[in-house]
């Protein structure tokens, strides 16, 4: 298994470790509920160094990004971040990612850990056909960076201690390149996967442990704790955030996944891959979609469970499911026939050959 610069530290702290996307990652340190609630109320720190980092630069960079991604890169200005996804040419999604505009001719991207090689191969083919030079105009920097997600309502207050630049007043989905904890050229981004506020900090891998120590010292007064991938999943699910391999994959379109808000079909400057296909899909009306649900009867839905209607007909499949620490309910998402996706519709989850009642709800599950 691969490791991050923090792996030995996680083991020393007694974390429960497991393989994730080919990396030896911490799943939890104490309990999932304690870590979840600490992120929601105080500050939690996730090692997300397994995520990838790409960079596109040069005169073709913007054109390249517009063609590869469904969002409108033209809407970005320097220091802004955009959530987007890579269409696969057949209506599905190669991956979802963040795009950072460093300059008009330079973009920094963060793909999912499990998809780094897949995304690189896909985007490299496009870059090469456009006349971009791999390794210069389009670069895989994933081995150069370490990343910490410092999440929670007090995260920015704590991190302000470690830089002279104003970070507490940064707008959501913006970034600065600054000196942080004495380390130069750190990317400080007000993004995250928890819906609890905070930041993501990208640092040279060689400086990772120095930054970790500084972050935890700065966060002491705010009850800072390390957090594992277990609560990262419950936090994102409560907010209805998509996870690749669950709510989105190569067979699900952005419109079916509820990502129409990032799929800019009317923008004139982003003639992205399979745009016409998605325009046609929207015009015809989508036949299935991702819907959130809460269990009515006792039971926990899990990824892969069948979803049925009252007559027992299979109408879809669960994509994510878990107890929700913040609401006390058992929640989940399912890809189901569109006619059943409207909030308040009764559905049934097949759990151990038993039909367990649930109801569809509008996401997010948790508003706090």
- pLDDT at residue 268, as a whole number: 86
Using the CB atoms, write b or e for 315-326: b if 16+ within 10 Å: bbbbbbbbebbb
pTM: 0.97
Residue 73 contacts residue 109 (beta carbons within 8 Å): no
Say what the pLDDT of residue 297 is: 98
Reported as a single tens digit per residue, the pLDDT across 312-330 is: 999 999 999 999 999 999 9
Q: Average the pLDDT over 13-22 and give the result.
A: 97
Question: What per-residue confidence (pLDDT) applies to 65?
Answer: 98
Give all domains of the chain, ordered by start, each with its CATH number. 7-50+143-238 (3.30.1360.120), 54-133 (3.30.70.1400), 287-368 (2.40.30.110)
Report the percent of the chain where pLDDT is more than 90.
Answer: 98
Q: CA–CA separation, 283 vs 168, rounded Å?
A: 43
Q: What whole-number distance in Å separates Cα of residue 220 and Cα of residue 51?
A: 26
Residue 124 has pLDDT above 90, yes or no: yes
Q: Return the DSSP state at 289.
A: E
pLDDT digits over 191-236, tens only? 999 999 999 999 999 999 999 999 999 999 999 999 999 999 999 9
pLDDT digits (tens, 9 = 90+) for 70-103: 999 999 999 999 999 999 999 999 999 999 999 9
């Amino acid at each position: 298994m691969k490791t991050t610069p923090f792996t030995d530290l996680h083991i020393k702290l007694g974390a429960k470790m497991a393989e994730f996307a080919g990396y030896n990652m911490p799943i939890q340190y104490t309990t999932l509920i304690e870590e979840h609630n600490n992120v929601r109320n105080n500050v939690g720190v996730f090692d997300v160094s397994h995520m990838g980092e790409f960079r596109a630069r040069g005169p073709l960079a913007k054109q390249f990004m517009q063609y590869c991604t469904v969002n409108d890169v033209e809407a970005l200005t320097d220091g802004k971040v955009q959530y987007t996804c890579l269409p696969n040419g057949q209506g599905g999604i190669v991956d979802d990612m963040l795009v950072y505009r460093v300059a008009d001719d330079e973009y920094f991207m963060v793909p999912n850990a499990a998809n780094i090689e897949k995304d690189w191969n896909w985007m490299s083919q496009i870059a090469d056909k456009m006349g971009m030079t791999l390794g210069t105009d389009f670069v895989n920097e994933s081995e150069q960076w370490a990343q910490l997600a410092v999440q929670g309502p007090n995260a920015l207050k704590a991190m302000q201690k470690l830089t002279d630049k104003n970070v507490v007043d940064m707008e959501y989905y913006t970034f600065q390149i600054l000196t942080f904890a004495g380390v130069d050229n750190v990317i400080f981004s007000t993004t995250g996967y928890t819906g609890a506020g905070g930041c993501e900090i990208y640092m040279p891998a060689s400086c990772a442990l120095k930054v970790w120590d500084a972050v935890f010292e700065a966060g002491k007064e705010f009850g800072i704790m390390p957090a594992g991938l277990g609560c990262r999943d419950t936090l994102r699910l409560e907010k209805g955030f998509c996870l690749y391999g669950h709510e989105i994959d190569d067979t699900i379109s952005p419109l079916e996944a509820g990502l129409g808000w990032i799929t800019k079909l009317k923008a004139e400057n982003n003639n992205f891959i399979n745009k016409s296909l998605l325009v046609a899909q929207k015009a015809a009306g989508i036949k299935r979609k991702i819907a959130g649900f809460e269990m009515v009867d006792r039971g926990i839905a899990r990824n892969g469970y069948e979803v049925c209607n009252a007559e027992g007909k299979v109408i879809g499949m669960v994509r994510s499911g878990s107890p929700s620490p913040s609401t006390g309910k058992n929640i989940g998402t399912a890809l189901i026939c569109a006619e059943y996706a409207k909030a308040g519709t009764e559905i049934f989850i097949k759990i151990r050959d038993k039909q367990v009642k649930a109801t569809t709800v509008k996401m997010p599950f948790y508003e706090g």
